[in-house]
Amino acid sequence: MQAPVNVAICGLGTVGGGSLRLLRGNADEIARRAGCPIQVVRVATRRPRAIKIDSAISLGSDPFEAVQDDNVQVIVEAMGGFDPAFAVVSQALAGGKQVVTANKALIAERGNELFAIAEENGTTLAYESSVAGGIPIIKNLREGLAANRIEWLAGIINGTGNFILTEMAVGGRTFEDVLAEAQDLGYAEADPSFDVDGIDAAHKLTIMASIAFGIPLQFASTYTEGISTLAPEDLAYAEELGYRIKHLGIARRTDKGVEMRVHPTLISKRWLLSEVSGVDNAVVVKGHAAGSTMYQGPGAGADATASAVVADIIDIARQLRAGGRQPLVPSLHYHGAALDLPVVPIDSIASEYYLRIPVLDRMGVMARITRVLEQHAISIEAVIQKEVHGGSVPIVLLTHAVAESSMNAAIAELAKLADVVGPIGRVRVAPFPAGE
């Protein structure tokens, strides 16, 4: 067996702790796969530890000591956030170290700079664990589908959000109750509004879109909407119409450019994606040659995320054994400059819509609503009118495809009608037919 590869783990929360446990618990098999033992020689943590650290590991609180340590070849950045993560990763790369990170915010928002530093210094920044936890989606997109022109991808890419929507729809539990459980299980972000408001999913979508279309990472251009505007009854009405509501990230290449958007979405129950429940993530990728392929698995949690972190370490160990410090596969799929494709603003994107309009149950209300929709060239595909609740009644509609700007104008006008007595619920329908 060859000399070991020495690793420092910076951050010992869910991801760092899980990675240490996995490296320790499956050391023999990992060594056989890597062709050499993988040895954790340093841990930097500022938190009280629930994990026993063996005495051969240097334990400290300063991640920069690991960056300066000549005995360390691979830094695992599992601290999250930007400060000090950006400085740790950039200094490690500038010093020629290999880096593995689970930090999707860092990759999505500062990745363009960090990959440039890695390239300049002939080293690796690996990030499989940053998207979809245990699912090897980066490897599949970047390597398995490398021959394809990717047309679109759509994914349930936030485990906490999917867990909340599933438990609300199936278990009838409250939002707060399910979120507290997701936090206990280590699924939720340190700031759970990242999960609920779609920021975490937007980070992951930004990364996948960049790989899929060969464009720079553009988090600021990714349209982001969370799940907190959904009412529990929307989940039930969607079900009646033959759909489920999932928090979906969609990236699509069209004649106008690239769409990148994260929002609650109606998915036909005939689509397998609608069945993905609990903390599971799933991504469907449509390549022009491979067709649709789907990848499903646990999207959060210590063991699933550690599986992806350690896979990156094994790749690096193999690469180092073969004498290369720089990866054969470029970080974001392409060699040379990224493509400069325009990002289509959400206002210009056309969708079918689900609308829930709470109205007073009185004569002519339906006609007044359809008149407003007609004035904005919005045609109705299906309608259900529910029973009266204390004088108000929800009218639930599915529309044919219309530009977002027209739908916004119609909703603003509907809201002004005297018949309408509460906020109008609006959810976009997935732009892919169930069979695709």
Instruction: Kindly list the residues in this chain that would bind ligand HSE in the complex (CB under 6 A).
Output: 133, 158-160, 187-189, 195, 200, 299-300
Query: What is the nearest approach in angstroms of ligand HSE to the Cβ of residue 22?
Result: 16
Lay out the sheet containing 125-126: strands in order across.
58-60, 38-44, 5-10, 74-77, 98-101, 125-126
Q: According to the 3-state scheme, what is the secondary structure of 62-100?
A: CHHHHHHCCCCCEEEECCCCCCCHHHHHHHHHHCCCEEE
Contact between residue 355 and residue 237 where contact means Cβ atoms under 8 Å apart: no
Query: What is the nearest approach in angstroms of ligand HSE to the Cβ of residue 288?
Result: 29
Residues 84, 63: Cα–Cα separation, whole Å: 9
Query: What is the nearest approach in angstroms of ligand HSE to the Cβ of residue 160?
Result: 3
Residue 264 is encoded by which pair of tokens?
A: 């609650």
Burial (CB count <10 Å: 0-12, 13-18, 19+), residue 435: exposed
Set 204, 246, 286, 416: catalytic member: 204
**Cα angle value 101/132/225 (rounded, 5°):** 105
Query: What is the nearest approach in angstroms of ligand HSE to the Cβ of residue 285?
Result: 19
Nearer to ligand HSE, 42 or 203 (CB): 203
Nearer to ligand HSE, 103 or 351 (CB): 103
Q: Is 204 a residue of the active site?
A: yes
Residues 429, 402: Cα–Cα separation, whole Å: 11
Residues 410, 405: Cα–Cα separation, whole Å: 9
Residue 345 is encoded by which pair of tokens?
A: 């603003």
**Cα angle value 82/83/86 (rounded, 5°):** 60
φ, ψ (nearest 5 deg) of residue 198: 85, 0
Nearer to ligand HSE, 208 or 407 (CB): 208
Nearer to ligand HSE, 195 or 197 (CB): 195
Residue 115 is encoded by which pair of tokens?
A: 């990959």
Cα torsion 106, 107, 110, 114 to 10°: value is: 110
Residues 303, 76: Cα–Cα separation, whole Å: 15
Query: What is the nearest approach in angstroms of ligand HSE to the Cβ of residue 275?
Result: 18
Query: What is the nearest approach in angstroms of ligand HSE to the Cβ of residue 88?
Result: 19
C-alpha closest to that of 91 among 10, 208, 5: 10
Contact between residue 97 and residue 326 where contact means Cβ atoms under 8 Å apart: no
Nearer to ligand HSE, 166 or 351 (CB): 166
Residues 203, 205: Cα–Cα separation, whole Å: 6
Contact between residue 43 and residue 49 where contact means Cβ atoms under 8 Å apart: no
Query: What is the nearest approach in angstroms of ligand HSE to the Cβ of residue 390?
Result: 37
Q: Is the peptide bond before 84 cis (omega within 30 degrees of 0)?
A: yes
Query: What is the nearest approach in angstroms of ligand HSE to the Cβ of residue 73?
Result: 26
Residues catalogued as catalytic: 204
